[in-house]
Amino acid sequence: MKKLLVIIFVFSIQFINAQDKDVARAKRFFDKTFYSEAIILYEKLAEEKPSQEVIKNLADSYYYTNDLIKAQRYYRLLFQKYGKDLDREYYFRYAQTLKASNTYADANEVLKQYYALSTTSKDSVYFKNELHELENVSAIGNRFDIKNLAINTPNSEFGAVKYKGNLVFAGVKLKPGLFDKKFKWDNETYLNLVTVPLTELNASEPNTGYFADELKTGMHEANAVFTKDGKTIYFTRNNSKNGTKKKNEEKISNLQIFKADLVDGKWTNITALPFNSPNYSVEHPALSPDEKVLYFASDMPGSVGSFDIYSVNINKGAFDKPKNLGSLINTDKREQFPFVSKDNKLYFSSDGHLGYGSLDVFVSDSNGNEYVEPVNIGLPLNSNLDDFSFNIDSDTKEGFFASNREGGKGNDDIYQFKEIKDLIVEDCKQFIAGTITDVDTQLVLENATVMLQDATKKVLNTITTSADGKFSFAVACESSYTIVAFKEKYTNESKTLEIGKTRNITNDGSLALKSLDAIKLEEQKNAEDKRKEEIRQEKEKRDKEALALIALNEAAKKAKADEIAAGEAKKKEKENQIMTQEKDVVKDKDRLIIKTDPIYFDYNMWYIRKESKVVLGRVIALMNKYPGMVIEIGSHTDSRGNAKFNEELSQKRANSTREFIIQSGINANRVSAKGYGESVPIIKCKTDDACSEEDHELNRRSEFVIKNL
């Protein structure tokens, strides 16, 4: 067991030592810019020992060799693990890789952080303005027709220029020989100047060959530019002397610009330009239309970024001191591959100005001796990857550029293009248009004033309508505006519109105004209608009140009738009850009477006789028994004698009877007396003699009518 542990320990130490050696070896390759070889080791170490340095150098190696998709993977891992410790520059690189995968929203968020980390406060404003301008460029749409040429191979081709019926460009061998040197930056063989007839650009088997054997070395040769007479060439080559590569103290062979003259069909007098240096690169030559100025890219001391665009005056073959084109053109990143067109526009590629990918092509117009702020030349020439070595014939609008975009044949391909749209960069705009009309007649209104106001109510523009009543304003997108219209003898009207971000659409701002005369007539009519309505409502109110009163009276009548009916029913019930209980109480037609023996009075007298008091005692007994009983004493005479006398006599007799009952203890309110005289006989006598004495006696009577119980 101990022996096994010792073996494991020794193996672990050996494994760790091997890893450390790989880290050191990979670092040496990385520092020498041998990125293709460094990647092999770093990929293995990223699996076994993924330190911050390993992940960072692996991401950078892929970045420098333009494999941005793989670089993105490791930059993302780097940010996930060590985001707080990373230098600001890594935000920029990560954003470039995000563009390469067309994830622009994420790329812009990372760039926003990149500019926010700047020590210069203006950088965030700069980014916002650049983003806004790029949106405006995108809005133009596709400005170019582009075509991938048949001469392209799986290797790199770029820097195409026309020369005497041929196309000259930089390329590498499709199948390098066994002893051909490879550029350890990206593991391709060294670049050479290649040529092909213009007539064979799209041939299935183009006749491609080296441009000039006398210019060919074992180093990079690329980016040729010729004078108009074709007798002078400027091109880029590694630092060298007499065909031998030269390196500086850091063992780097920087790029330099060389010049050669065509003499008797051969390129001779191959000389390095005087401002070259072994300590920095000078590359990508371009000539002004008058050939008095040479433009190039360099990272020489004094450069704003890694590479800047410079110009140098040529005086009878001699060169002045190079001049940096300044911060409008150059950024703290890369500006390379300058080209000046016949109309004196400066084109160049940059990853410092905001673009669609890594290197985008930009253009700057000249303003006298200066170049103005550059503009991205747009789609689809610029892509999500590198687009560079651009040149154009401003007369024909045709030219060439190189790109490593998807859909190509190799690493960098040459594309032919034609410009089909002018580069007119405008802010997003829409239109607010409409017609001012009369709201009642629907007729258009001439000479109406229409004002355009912003969100703060500031007046931006004013229009007076013509005979057609129409108006139109151009307005910025993503803003709020108010349209106000007015005209003499009309009301004012307004409308607020929220403008979106879709370009060049028209929003309806039509308004209808109302005539003040029409308003006056309407007010008069409304007043009349109001008066009529008030009259109608008053009449309706009176009618309702009358109906309510009728209903109230009807209800009162009904209540009274119900009360009477209830009283009658109750009275009838009491009558039936008393008639059942008292044999002296009987019904006489519709009257309830107390049936008694006759009450006799002496002739022509009204006092109560003794025998009658006995009869009245029975009445008094009933009234005492029924305290609610109310009676009427009705006294009657026969028909003999004077009628008036008989009426007075009967009243006296009734009164005498009432007095007797009251004196017997009955409340006076319960007894009334009525003398009827001879007016209500039982037996009607035509004459006094027509009735017997019995008939007359029957008519002489006292009746006790029960009025209430």
Domain boundaries, the chain: 27-117, 146-419, 429-514, 515-573, 582-708
Q: Report the first-to-last Cα separation within the chain, whole angstroms.
A: 134
Report whether 330 contacts 306 (CB < 8 A): no
Average pLDDT on 502-518 reads 95
* Tokens linked to 274: 């005087």
Average pLDDT on 595-620 reads 82
The pLDDT > 90 percentage for the chain reads 66
3-state secondary structure of 582: coil
Q: What is the DSSP string of 292-339?
A: -EEEEEE--TT-SSSBEEEEEEEETTEE---EE--TTT--SSBEEEEE
Fold annotation for 429-514: Immunoglobulin-like (2.60.40)
How many C-alpha atoms does 264 have within 13 Å on its Cβ side?
Answer: 2
Report the distance separating Cα 550 and Cα 186, nearest Å. Answer: 112
Cα dihedral across residues 266, 271, 275, 277: positive or negative:
positive
Say whether pLDDT at 2 is over 50.
no
Q: Which CATH architecture has domain 146-419?
A: 6 Propeller (2.120)
Average pLDDT on 589-603 reads 82
Q: Taking Cα atoms as reference points, which of 127, 160, 91 lies closest to residue 412?
A: 160
- Please state, in angstroms and as integers, the Cα–Cα distance from residue 221 to each residue in 172, 191, 193, 277, following that order: 10, 6, 6, 17
* Most distant CA atoms of the chain, gap in Å: 192
Say whether pLDDT at 181 is over 60.
no
The predicted model scores a pTM of: 0.70
Per-residue pLDDT band at 602 (split at 50, 70, 90): confident
Q: How many other C-beta atoms lie within 10 A of the C-beta of residue 164? A: 10
For the segment 106-143, what is each residue's pLDDT rounded down to a tens digit?
999 999 999 998 887 778 888 999 999 999 999 999 99
For the segment 284-303, what is each residue's pLDDT rounded down to a tens digit?
999 999 999 999 999 999 99
Q: What is the DSSP string of 496-540?
A: EEE--S-TT-EEE--EEE-BHHHHHHHHHHHHHHHHHHHHHHHHH
Say whether pLDDT at 45 is over 80.
yes
3-state secondary structure of 687: coil
**Residue 11: in which H helix or E strand, if any?**
helix 2-31
User: What is residue 534's predicted lDDT score, i.e. its pLDDT?
Assistant: 92
Q: Which of 82-96, 242-256, 374-388 has the highest mean pLDDT?
A: 374-388
3-state secondary structure of 468: coil
- The angle subtended at Cα 40 by Cα 38 and Cα 42, nearest 5°, is 65
Report whether 636 contacts 680 (CB < 8 A): yes
Q: Are strands 370-371 and 366-367 parallel, antiparallel or unpaired?
A: antiparallel
Who's near 426: CB < 8 A, 6+ residues apart? 136, 139
As a dihedral over the C-alpha atoms of residue 576, residue 577, residue 578, residue 583, rounded to 10 degrees, the angle is 80
Q: What are 513-517's contacts with CB under 8 Å, separation 24+?
A: 513/436, 513/437, 513/438, 513/439, 513/445, 513/448, 513/485, 513/486, 513/487, 514/438, 514/439, 514/440, 514/490, 515/438, 515/440, 515/489, 515/490, 516/489, 516/490, 516/491, 517/489
User: What is residue 18's predicted lDDT score, i.e. its pLDDT?
Assistant: 63
Q: Which CATH architecture has domain 582-708?
A: 2-Layer Sandwich (3.30)
| Amino acid identity at 581 | Q
Whether 429-514 and 146-419 are alike in CATH topology: the answer is: no
Report the distance separating Cα 693 and Cα 678, nearest Å. Answer: 15
Per-residue pLDDT band at 10 (split at 50, 70, 90): very low
In the block, tokens 């290797």 appear at: 155
CATH of span 27-117 = 1.25.40.10
3-state secondary structure of 232: strand
3-state secondary structure of 187: coil
Report the distance separating Cα 476 and Cα 369, nearest Å. Answer: 34
Report the distance separating Cα 188 and Cα 176, nearest Å. Answer: 9
